[in-house]
Amino acid sequence: MEHEGEGTTSTGLDRLASVNLNLLVPLLALLEERSVTRAAERVGLSQPAMSHALARMRRLLGDELVVRQGSGVTLTPRALRLIAPLRSALHQTAHLVNPPGFDPATDRRVVTVAMTNSTAFVVGPHLTRLVAERAPHATLRLRTITVPTEATFTDQGVDVVLVSEGHFSPYPRERLYDDRCVVVAGPDAPPRASALDLLSALPHVVVDTERRVFPYAVLEEHDVPYRVGQLVSDFLLVPFLVARAGGVALLRHRVAVTMGTLADLRIEEFPFPLPGLGIDLVWNPRLADRHFAEWLRTLLFDAAARL
């Protein structure tokens, strides 16, 4: 004979009768946005209503979830662990309730793509135009990162990351476009100097980072003398400073060409063979909407074709 409470009790489903599941959508918005104001705007609640919902979530879960830290807020360890399973559960629920799939003509979702600022400089304008044309009610969110981590997917909720082929990812990847390293100099550089002459004679403008830029190892292997004249923290400042103040730098070809529309840059091929600098797509492994993923993949390749 089955004892009272067996079945649903073992799965925890009986507890759902006492839980307001309407709190889960604002909870995910709060965890992803880390702002009561932005989360309220995202789910269509007033700020007082969102604050009230947060108080109820805290009582329900027995955890503060978000705590103030300086001028901003931070998530508690439990809140961080909730993001991925909560997002997955809500996406699956949405598919049960709304099975027709993604319709770019009417969808109002936020499309989130993560990449370095230099890749955003190259791809961002084309991607922005295409989203506006093909999904006029959607919002494109570009998140700039340095090196993608697991938190890029779980905490920031990106749909896809654009990452250099040299960066490791545990997830499947696909080449979006190829690139290469070039030498850039300003308009005052000696006009007849070769790329090798420019690299050995002019001071280099280099990104100030602990990670070694691999073309410099190649220069050292070939005993090419060079001197670092300036270190800067922002990659996109490099071509601008070279164009306006002189010197020489090593850049991705597509960044140099794009920046060349804004500043006077001389572009020469790197004098020695180098591995590729391609940009790959790495998808969020928890992205469940295949219709949306296929649409976004086509969009990204169409944007890359315009480079």
CA atoms of 228 and 205, how far apart (whole Å): 6
Q: Give the Å distances, CA to CA, from 123 to 30, 128, 145, 177, 253.
A: 29, 9, 14, 10, 13
Q: Where are the beta strands (DSSP E) in 154-240?
A: 160-164, 173-177, 181-185, 204-207, 228-232
Per-run averaged pLDDT (10 residues), the chain, 307 residues = 44 63 85 85 86 88 85 83 84 64 88 92 95 95 80 73 85 92 94 95 90 83 94 89 95 92 93 90 84 94 94
Q: Which pLDDT does position 15 carry in this prediction?
A: 64
- 165 with 282, same domain: the answer is yes
- 170 with 282, same domain: the answer is yes
- Residue 14 belongs to domain spanning: 8-97
- 33 with 174, same domain: the answer is no
Query: Is the residue at 283 inside a domain?
Result: yes
Q: Where are the beta strands (DSSP E) in 55-180?
A: 66-69, 72-75, 110-115, 139-144, 160-164, 173-177
Q: Which pLDDT does position 4 carry in this prediction?
A: 43
Query: Is the residue at 85 inside a domain?
Result: yes
Query: Is the residue at 225 inside a domain?
Result: yes
Would you say the C-alpha torsion 177, 178, 181, 182 has a positive or negative sign? negative
CA atoms of 23 and 3, how far apart (whole Å): 32
Q: Which pLDDT does position 97 carry in this prediction?
A: 62
Contact of 90 with 209, CB cutoff 8 Å: no
* H-helix or E-strand spanning residue 179: none
Among 171, 24, 37, 139, CA closest to 83:
24
CA atoms of 307 and 290, how far apart (whole Å): 26
Report the CATH number at residue 22: 1.10.10.10
